[in-house]
Chains A and B, each alone.
Chain A
């Protein structure tokens, strides 16, 4: 994951429009997910699963993402953490490959 802020905004908004069927005109950084955009906690889980897939990262163990309240919070989170999340994903991939090699060797 090595994206500009605009690319992050585009990816997040695209998920909200295509999967949550929101109107692009309603999307702005200050909008809150629950009150302004009408999503609920189940929608947030689905949104994060979609973004994990899109960015090739895992958010499962991340506590900070659970604190987001606004669209801007999500843009900020990915912009700030993309290097860390990418490194985590690459480490997880390497660990899985190593485990697979060890299993094959048994």
Chain B
């Protein structure tokens, strides 16, 4: 990124089914815990990976903030507050620097949308609260994060389904690198629900009901049958490198590469050549060779077509030289949160010097072979890691982070 400012991460916050701090998340991943449980009747008993809805935590937010928040925004607020505290920046300091945010989600809040339509369709529109709109709005996670942290800078809300979170990170990287922003909070969040898992199920892309729900999500496995929807949030404090150094901030890593493209014609299916181009472009944007990457955190959601396409693209760009794993076997697919949430886990992997394997991967699908699958915990020092996120509409996004800056 010649002529551009350097961009670093100085604060991390998560809210997930496997932990409310990055450390707790890593410990549960390392202990091979699964967030996947059997869904209820509303989900047709499909496996699902819900995040705990903790009223006692959410009530630490003042009512005036909380009244406009559905669960997705609550997750975001909790993660955002943690990221702010972790960064060491106060609300006054953020206001002085005109800090902003970019947070994305697939649909704002599915539960708020459902509650609102339930009233309208049953002829009870007069019972709709004005708060339904704020809870449902596509950018509810973004503006609620800004309100929670008292941000007075720009608010963005990339809405690109499962790539929302990573595109939010890419957007903030570009804004800071261009000198337009100094501090930005970025990330992703999402809720799951019967309409989400049901939609994937109608497309034959959802894992079926299994005797052991924890076995349902099996990225890259020969026995995978589809994804499991999950939920949560992750937020990063991202800032300009010089600003971070001058204030003595702890620096987790530097975003050195980012790229996003699309397949050009796809609706729901991944396009291996387009993914390969995106990954190659990301390496080029970082000025490093694919062989310099120490670990790839795959998007791999446990769908038949998607995992195979990503594996083919990784094979083409990286060969079998770079270890790869997907965390969606443990967490399910947290949709708009997935990119940032899984990156938060990778920072912990780097801190511990161990790669978390792909959960339930005991039998690699031949269509996904030819890459270095991590199937057991592996000691590894990470200098550069690579993250993929893909989404409906043929959207691809990739990011490279350099550690030990």
Q: Please list the residues of chain A having a beta carbon within 8 angstroms of any beta carbon in chain B.
A: 20-21, 40, 42-43, 45-46, 49, 52-53, 58, 60
Is B129 an interface position by the 8 A CB rule? Answer: yes
Identity of the chain B residue whose Cβ is nearest the Cβ of A52 in the assembled complex = B126
The interface bits of chain B over 128-145 (1 if a CB of A lies within 8 angstroms of the residue's CB, else 0) are 111100000000000000
Is B63 an interface position by the 8 A CB rule? Answer: yes
Q: How far is the CA of A42 from the CA of B134 in the complex (A)?
A: 11
The interface bits of chain B over 59-94 (1 if a CB of A lies within 8 angstroms of the residue's CB, else 0) are 000011001000000000000000000000000000
Given A20-B63, A21-B63, the answer on whether A46 and B129 have CB atoms closer than 8 Å is yes
Given A42-B131, A46-B131, the answer on whether A60 and B63 have CB atoms closer than 8 Å is no
Q: How far is the CA of A46 from the CA of B64 in the complex (A)?
A: 13
Interface class of chain B by DSSP: helix
The interface bits of chain B over 118-134 (1 if a CB of A lies within 8 angstroms of the residue's CB, else 0) are 00000000111111000
Contact sample, A vs B, 19 pairs, CB 8 Å cutoff: A20-B63, A21-B63, A40-B64, A42-B130, A42-B131, A43-B67, A45-B129, A45-B130, A46-B67, A46-B129, A46-B131, A49-B126, A49-B127, A49-B128, A49-B129, A52-B126, A52-B127, A58-B126, A60-B126
Chain A residue contacts of B63, Cβ below 8 A: 20-21
A46 and B126 within 8 A (CB): no
Top-4 shortest CB links A-B: A21-B63, A46-B129, A45-B130, A42-B130
Tell me the residues in window 98-132 of chain B with beta carbons closer than 8 Å to chain A beta carbons.
Answer: 126-131
Chain B residue contacts of A60, Cβ below 8 A: 126
Given contacts A43-B67, A52-B127, 18 further A-B contacts (CB under 8 A): A20-B63, A21-B63, A40-B64, A42-B67, A42-B130, A45-B129, A45-B130, A46-B67, A46-B129, A46-B130, A46-B131, A49-B126, A49-B127, A49-B128, A49-B129, A52-B126, A53-B127, A58-B126
Q: Please list the residues of chain B having a beta carbon within 8 angstroms of any beta carbon in chain A.
A: 63-64, 67, 126-131
Q: How far is the CA of A34 from the CA of B402 in the complex (A)?
A: 51
Q: How far is the CA of A45 from the CA of B127 in the complex (A)?
A: 11
Chain B residue contacts of A58, Cβ below 8 A: 126
Q: How far is the CA of A49 from the CA of B64 in the complex (A)?
A: 18
| Smallest beta-carbon distance B118→chain A, Å | 15
Chain B residue contacts of A45, Cβ below 8 A: 129-130
| Smallest beta-carbon distance B257→chain A, Å | 44
| Smallest beta-carbon distance A81→chain B, Å | 18
Q: How far is the CA of A45 from the CA of B126 in the complex (A)?
A: 11
Chain A residue contacts of B67, Cβ below 8 A: 42-43, 46
Q: How far is the CA of A42 from the CA of B130 in the complex (A)?
A: 7
Chain A residue contacts of B127, Cβ below 8 A: 49, 52-53
Chain A residue contacts of B64, Cβ below 8 A: 40
Which of B64, B127, B128 counts the most chain A CB atoms within 10 A? B64
| Smallest beta-carbon distance B112→chain A, Å | 14
Identity of the chain B residue whose Cβ is nearest the Cβ of A45 in the assembled complex = B130
Q: How far is the CA of A45 from the CA of B130 in the complex (A)?
A: 7
| Smallest beta-carbon distance B395→chain A, Å | 35
Identity of the chain B residue whose Cβ is nearest the Cβ of A22 in the assembled complex = B63
Chain A residue contacts of B129, Cβ below 8 A: 45-46, 49
Chain A residue contacts of B128, Cβ below 8 A: 49
